[in-house]
């Protein structure tokens, strides 16, 4: 975002200021300089600052068209879908907040001011060692909405995003805070029959099946490494719970959003380009998969770390340290300590940082089924976090 950009209402009272002076303007009843309206509080979105990175898992059932069949090591005849499983790395970068974004009211509702945080999300597939493939690119905006009278709602939030496949989303929801760590409910990737709600499992959902329409087909090495197990494929949020097991999470801000939000919220939704719809009624979808709903839960966790600081000489550059107890294969925040004087004896300090976890479900409709597309990830700050010298005392 350009450094000099800041949202605000165009001042309608500028001429009054010039002619009558600031004191007269302030005394004039009903005259408000909306450009001076303070930026609305971001609430939990205040944690969305700077660059984050992390790892996760993605699962998606893709249509398999006989005109362009997916090549597989063990060919599978007659299948209309392929289950793709991705081990992922992710970056999530936030720009500075927008400030006061005026939204004009009408009738019973006066003007309100929003605030928002722009973001850019990129996700790479790293399932095969040495082979990195970009699978997701998403510019978007998180917005905080104040309490309103029309509609009658408390503070809410929304996430608006654009997906390069030709889909945009507007998901709304609420937020709350809990003490301690998050309650992460299981998520099922099994397709659902449209109209009846019946679950329709496929052989590709069993990790030991090696000849099914799946990428990768043979999961033996991943199961042995613990990266794609039956427990993980049956419930991808297992990855999230495994990551935070043993962490000291002090509190959690919970953000719950949906493109078809429950009452009292309404509005939002997904929208698709003409190619995805196929025709005006969406009954001849060229891509054979239309995104009909997206829902997600984001957990912004406050984690308390133990940081072991060894004997250190004074240095002209910061020492980079890791917290204690980092599990193999898990990313953790790094800490920068710049001692102006020698640290003469080892010391352990406690230090709190933010951590983002999320589970997202996108429902794709094709072949009479609604197919859950599930993504999970754990993200930590990408740059070392400075430790103030006062923390050593």
Residue 22 lies in a domain: no
Give the pLDDT confidence score for residue 189 in this predicted structure: 98
Length of the chain: 393
Structural domain span for residue 178 = 33-307+354-383
In a domain, 4, yes or no: no
pLDDT for the residue 195: 92
Q: Could you tell me the CATH number of the domain that includes residue 196?
A: 2.40.128.20
Q: What is the pLDDT of residue 216?
A: 97
| Within-domain flag for 144 | yes
| Alpha helices, H only, the chain | 14-27, 220-225, 230-234, 238-244, 274-277
In a domain, 57, yes or no: yes
What are the residues facing 33 on neighbouring strands?
A: none
In a domain, 263, yes or no: yes
Longest dimension (CA), the chain: 82
Instruction: Confirm if 319 and 338 have CB atoms less than 8 A apart.
Output: yes
pLDDT of residue 203: 97
pLDDT tens sequence for the chain (393 residues): 777 787 777 776 655 455 555 555 455 554 444 445 688 999 999 999 999 999 999 999 998 988 888 999 999 988 999 999 999 999 999 999 999 998 887 777 788 899 999 999 999 999 999 999 999 999 999 999 998 887 788 899 999 999 888 889 999 999 999 999 999 999 999 999 999 999 999 999 999 999 999 999 999 999 999 999 999 999 999 999 999 999 999 999 999 999 999 887 888 898 878 877 776 765 665 554 557 899 999 999 999 999 999 998 888 788 899 999 998 889 999 999 987 777 888 999 999 999 999 999 999 888 899 999 999 999 999 999 999 888 887
Residue 110, pLDDT score: 80
Identify the pLDDT of residue 340: 75
Question: Can you give the pLDDT at residue 26?
Answer: 55
Cα dist from 220 to 13, 125, 209, whole Å: 70, 18, 10
CA neighbours closer than 13 Å in the CB half-sphere of residue 132: 6
pLDDT given for residue 300 in this prediction: 98
Asked if the structure places residue 321 within a domain, the reply is no
Say how far apart CA 84 and CA 346 lie, in whole Å: 48
Q: What is residue 32's predicted lDDT score, i.e. its pLDDT?
A: 45
Residue 93 lies in a domain: yes
Q: Is residue 297 in some structural domain?
A: yes
Domain count, the chain: 1
pLDDT of residue 288: 45
Give the separation between CA 97 and CA 103, rounded to whole angstroms. 16
């Amino acid at each position: 975002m350009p450094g000099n950009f800041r949202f605000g209402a165009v001042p309608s009272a500028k001429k009054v200021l010039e002619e009558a002076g600031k004191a007269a303007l302030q005394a004039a009843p009903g005259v408000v300089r909306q450009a001076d309206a303070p930026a609305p509080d971001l609430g939990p979105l205040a944690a969305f600052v700077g660059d984050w990175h992390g790892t996760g898992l993605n699962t998606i059932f893709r249509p398999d068209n006989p005109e362009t069949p997916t090549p597989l090591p063990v060919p599978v005849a007659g299948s209309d879908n392929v289950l793709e499983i991705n081990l992922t790395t992710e970056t999530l970068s936030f720009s500075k907040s927008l400030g006061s974004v005026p939204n004009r009211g009408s009738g019973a509702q006066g003007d309100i001011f929003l605030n928002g945080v722009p973001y850019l999300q990129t996700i790479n597939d790293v399932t095969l060692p040495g082979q990195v493939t970009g699978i997701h690119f998403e510019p978007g905006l998180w917005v905080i909405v104040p309490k309103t009278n029309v509609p009658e709602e408390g503070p809410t939030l929304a996430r608006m995003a654009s997906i390069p496949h030709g889909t945009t989303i507007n998901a709304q929801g609420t937020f709350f805070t809990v003490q301690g760590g998050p309650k992460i409910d299981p998520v099922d990737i099994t397709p659902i029959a449209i109209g009846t709600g019946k679950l329709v499992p496929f052989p590709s959902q069993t990790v030991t099946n090696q000849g099914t329409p799946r990428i990768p087909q043979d999961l033996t090495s991943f199961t042995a490494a613990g990266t794609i197990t039956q427990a993980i494929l049956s419930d991808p949020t297992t990855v999230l719970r495994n990551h935070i097991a043993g962490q000291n999470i002090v509190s959690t801000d919970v953000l719950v959003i949906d493109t078809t939000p429950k009452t009292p919220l309404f509005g939002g939704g997904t929208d698709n380009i003409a190619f995805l719809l196929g025709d005006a009624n969406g009954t001849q979808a060229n891509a054979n998969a239309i995104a009909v709903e997206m829902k997600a839960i984001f957990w912004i966790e406050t984690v308390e770390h133990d940081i072991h600081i060894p004997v250190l000489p004074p240095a002209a550059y910061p020492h980079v340290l890791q917290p204690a107890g980092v599990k193999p294969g898990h990313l953790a925040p790094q800490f920068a300590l710049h001692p102006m004087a020698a640290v003469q004896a080892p010391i352990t300090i406690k230090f709190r940082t933010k951590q983002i976890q999320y589970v997202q479900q996108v429902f794709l409709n094709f072949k009479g089924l609604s197919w859950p597309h599930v993504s999970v990830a754990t993200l930590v700050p990408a740059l070392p976090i400075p430790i103030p010298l006062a923390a050593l005392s």
